Structure 1
Amino acid sequence: MQNEATQKAFLGKIIIISTLGGLLFGYDTGVINGALPYMSAADQLNLNTFTQGLVASSLLLGAAFGAIFGGRMSDRNGRRKNILFLSILFFIATVGCTLAPNVAIMVAARFLLGIAVGGASVTVPSFLAEMSPADRRGGIVTRNELMIVSGQLLAFVINAILGTMMGDSSHVWRYMLIVAALPAILLFFGMLRVPESPRWLVSKQKDDEALGVLKRIRSEQDAASELAQIQNNLKKEKELQKAGFKDLAIPWVRRIMWIGIGIAIVQQITGVNSIMYYGTEILKDAGFETKAALIGNIANGVISVLATFVGIWLLGRVGRRPMLLTGLIGTTTCLLLIAVATAWLAGSPSLPYVVLALTVTFLAFQQGAISPVTWLMLSEIFPLRLRGFGMGMTVFCLWIINFLVGLLFPVLLGGIGLSATFYIFAALGLLAITFVKLVLPETKGLSLEELEQKFRSHGKKNLENDQTYAAKAAPVE
């Protein structure tokens, strides 16, 4: 029998190893920020504004499909085996990107890398949730979000170090990219030492194996109790008819789906990933030299990590709507100020520092309020029968909008300039604020069952109103 300290240590090892998937997610989405200026050179991949967007965003398109198939693969083969497969895919795609001789191979390799990122974005949180004790689940699962932003910060730091030390080498971008191979290797060998999710084992009628895993991370009494709870929950889920597109004919279901898609779009149209993917280009456009822009971009990564801590702390204390509205007002104001500053201070030596200060403030609002609320609300609004279908649809839409932002941003930047581009994002921010103000319900303090009843009641009330209107409008015989 293992003592409590041994059980906690083993659970801690599981968390650290599995969240390397989140670290890879963050590094691979952030590293392009610093690599892009170097790989765009004429003697390298010779990228124009469109191919820059294509290289950066091809990963995001792959992630959209990876998020869909990643969940299905982990249900079929197991969370552990799926993460092992993803670690291999991370490694192969990273090597492919590093050695890419032309744009076509780079885009293909980045698309494969995106499939790994998308798969990790759904598999790792599920694995963590199923391995965690109920009273620690929220804190443990949110560590993956922390590892994502930490991975982006690590990418910014590595970019700055390599850019400063090897900036005269035209191949420096290849060294930036290959660094991601190391955590991919660690993830693979680490997962070989990690057990399978007990919930998945029970779903495959491997109850004895599941109990054995639970006893390694829980007390014997808690392990037996949790096994019984898993068995009971799976029995209930099997009795539920799985949701699909046919359910969108039901008004209250359709409303939830539109709200979920709206939340996903709101998070992306703030333009956050234009800064996370093209922060170096933005600072260069504002007036920094490449090396100075790489160093300045570290501030964006640092504030993202710190703001994520604040966001996790705020979630239990502030309502979802006011938190999201505050975040959107903050980001929209920053976007508007960037647009104004780049127009009014053009050519001024102070402009790059003003832009850097505003991007840092923008990310404080985004990562401290908008992003945490987005993922929490998406996990809350869908009832059990709709959760898999609803999350799949909304996360797919989120990645597609992310892809479009990543693809079009450098085209807009090269075509209409920094100021006009950020005016567009500010206008989209106003639309996002309007959506949240008029449409988004408050979910804090309500159980998942109470939320479902609230949506059902709203749908029933609307249906009754529609029927009354139709009756009044009908011609009198």
Structure 2
Amino acid sequence: MAATPDTSAENQQPHTPDTIKQRLFLIVLVATMGALAFGYDTGIISGALPFMTLPAAQGGLGLSPFTQGLVSSSLIFGAALGAFLSGYFSDRFGRRITLRSLAVLFVLGSLGTAIAPDVNIMIAMRFLLGIAVGGGSSTVPVFIAEIAGPKRRAPLVSRNELMIVSGQLIAYVTSTLMSYLLHDEHLWRYMLSIAMVPGVLLFIGTFFVPASPHWLVAEGRFKEAKRILKHLRETPKEVRKELAEMKRQSAEADKGPSVSELIREKWVIRLLLLGAGLGFVLQFTGVNAFMYYTPIILKTTGLGTNASIAATIGNGIVSVLAALCALWGVSRFGRRQLLIVGLLVVIAAQVCLGLIMTLLPQNMTQSYLALACILVFLFFMQMFIAPVYWLLMSELFPMKLRGVLTGAAVAFQWICNAIVAFAFPLVLSVAGNETFFIFAVINVGSLVFVMMMLPETRGKTLEEIEIHMRDKYGELDAESAS
């Protein structure tokens, strides 16, 4: 009797490019449910707050200006903590288990905010929700990068940013439509409860996606890693090459210093400072000042309240279009090149906005020109800067500390987010329209930082990037010691 050919999934090689694309698409779609929830949760509060400020007799929570700030910022501070903690859990228990746990927090936090009976419970639930948002923001890019492989890493990780801005756009449209169509004193509770949907989808989806092969190799589970790679790469050659690189890096990490010793090495500290600096670059573009306060800016030009709020939807649409363009751009241009071009246009847009707000009289021309500057700013910000930041956060750090260092760097980014969100209204009240020139000056400094400090990572495997970073910063340490 002739031998029966082995048709097990493990031996079905090679796979067609279309099959691999479909598998990776589904994995990324599941993972980025966390990013969708991230975007929705950060965007929906702008539509819910006006209703939450109403007295309790009218269905609100009677928020004062002070408690409005607490409700809004509690999510940001929770996100900083979540990003930091998830790095440890991601390295300890794996990316997939961490995402599953975060999905539970997304659901509990969303439900808690929707049924919160008073301000104190609302703040606590927003903080819990922020832990999920921050944890997802640091874990999702790393998981996608480790699953995708070097050829597809850039566009797939960039889908994370696309889902974030899509979530924000959904939030803006949802809050606008619900405010017009529903006449219910508990309208804001419905807005907040919708955030449970992507959390539920993320939780269910994690049972159908594989673990990270990089994490499995780091844990010594080579057979499982190989089996997963065979389903996600087109040829046996790709599988052998990636697995060999992962094993080599894992062996070097095991022979080298422990985690506690490694994190104190100068080249690792330099990498962490680079990651933190990129978080500063991202947030001090002023992007969230425009995302949160565009209606306030436009109202100073004489534009009506409804028109100013409608402009927020314009922000969301432009951000989504820019993120779609970024999927094309990150595969064709270097990370440094994209950041430099993006910062140059961002600086020009801020200078133009400052001149328009300072020199032109308050009329419709000023309103439209100011809005045009904001939209140009957002397009280049969301195409050239934000997706590259998240991509770099998934690439820069060594395998042994990838979760911890990514979590710490992203946590610092959230702190910068909070600083900008708090400081912008205050600075605007004191410095007026010169605030936009201040942002431009800060971004000139960011441009210099990127040009001097950021190496190029495009086209390299994660293992090659790690070797390059260790060699680059090791040489700097040797030079400084000599």
TM-score by length of 1: 0.83
**Does the 8 Å CA contact 2:323/2:382 hold for their aligned counterparts?**
yes
For 1:92, the equivalent position in structure 2 comes to: 108
Instruction: Give the 3 Å change call, closer, same or farther, for CA 462–213 of structure 1 in structure 2.
Output: closer
Within 5 A, what are the aligned runs for 1:449-468? Answer: 449-464=467-482
Within 5 A, what are the aligned runs for 1:53-202? Answer: 53-166=69-182, 169=184, 171-202=186-217
| Deviation, structure 1 residue 70 | 1.0
Instruction: Give the 3 Å change call, closer, same or farther, for CA 340–147 of structure 1 in structure 2.
Output: same
Matched, 1:305 2:323: no
CA distance in 1, matches of 2:131, 2:377: 29
CA distance in 1, matches of 2:471, 2:239: 32
- Aligned residue identity for 1:458: L
Matched, 1:406 2:421: yes
Consecutive unaligned residues in structure 1, runs of 5 or more: 465-477
Instruction: Give the 3 Å change call, closer, same or farther, for CA 370–199 of structure 1 in structure 2.
Output: closer
Instruction: Give the 3 Å change call, closer, same or farther, for CA 287–253 of structure 1 in structure 2.
Output: same
Deviates more, 1:357-366 or 1:316-325: 316-325
For 2:3, the equivalent position in structure 1 comes to: none
| Deviation, structure 1 residue 82 | 1.9
- Aligned residue identity for 2:44: V
**Does the 8 Å CA contact 1:127/1:197 hold for their aligned counterparts?**
yes
Instruction: Give the 3 Å change call, closer, same or farther, for CA 214–417 of structure 1 in structure 2.
Output: same
For 1:426, the equivalent position in structure 2 comes to: 440
**Does the 8 Å CA contact 1:37/1:281 hold for their aligned counterparts?**
no
User: CA offsets per residue over residues 32-85 of structure 1, 9 Å max, x none?
Assistant: 233333333455344444433332222121111111211222233332222221
CA distance in 2, matches of 1:95, 1:386: 33
Instruction: Give the 3 Å change call, closer, same or farther, for CA 350–35 of structure 1 in structure 2.
Output: farther
SS of 1:31's equivalent in the other structure is helix
CA distance in 2, matches of 1:245, 1:400: 27
**Does the 8 Å CA contact 1:321/1:440 hold for their aligned counterparts?**
no
| Deviation, structure 1 residue 93 | 0.6
| Deviation, structure 1 residue 89 | 0.8
Instruction: Give the 3 Å change call, closer, same or farther, for CA 441–189 of structure 1 in structure 2.
Output: closer
- Aligned residue identity for 1:176: M
For 2:5, the equivalent position in structure 1 comes to: none
Instruction: Give the 3 Å change call, closer, same or farther, for CA 219–198 of structure 1 in structure 2.
Output: same
Query: Matched residues, percent identical?
Result: 40
Within 5 A, what are the aligned runs for 1:376-391? Answer: 376-378=391-393, 382=397, 390-391=405-406
User: CA offsets per residue over residues 370-429 of structure 1, 9 Å max, x none?
Assistant: 22343445555556667555434322221111122223334445x448635434433433
CA distance in 2, matches of 1:351, 1:46: 35
SS of 1:13's equivalent in the other structure is helix
For 2:453, the equivalent position in structure 1 comes to: 440
Query: How many pairs are equivalent?
Result: 460
**Does the 8 Å CA contact 2:105/2:128 hold for their aligned counterparts?**
yes
**Does the 8 Å CA contact 2:43/2:167 hold for their aligned counterparts?**
yes
SS of 1:154's equivalent in the other structure is helix
For 1:14, the equivalent position in structure 2 comes to: 27
For 1:276, the equivalent position in structure 2 comes to: 291
SS of 1:86's equivalent in the other structure is helix
Deviates more, 1:313-322 or 1:235-244: 313-322
CA distance in 1, matches of 2:239, 2:445: 50
Matched, 1:353 2:371: no
**Does the 8 Å CA contact 2:88/2:403 hold for their aligned counterparts?**
no
Matched, 1:39 2:52: yes
**Does the 8 Å CA contact 1:382/1:452 hold for their aligned counterparts?**
no
CA distance in 2, matches of 1:188, 1:22: 13
Consecutive unaligned residues in structure 2, runs of 5 or more: 1-7
For 2:4, the equivalent position in structure 1 comes to: none
TM-score by length of 2: 0.82
CA distance in 2, matches of 1:253, 1:374: 18
Deviates more, 1:274-283 or 1:175-184: 274-283
CA distance in 1, matches of 2:420, 2:101: 29
CA distance in 1, matches of 2:213, 2:426: 48
RMSD: 3.4
Deviates more, 1:291-300 or 1:224-233: 224-233
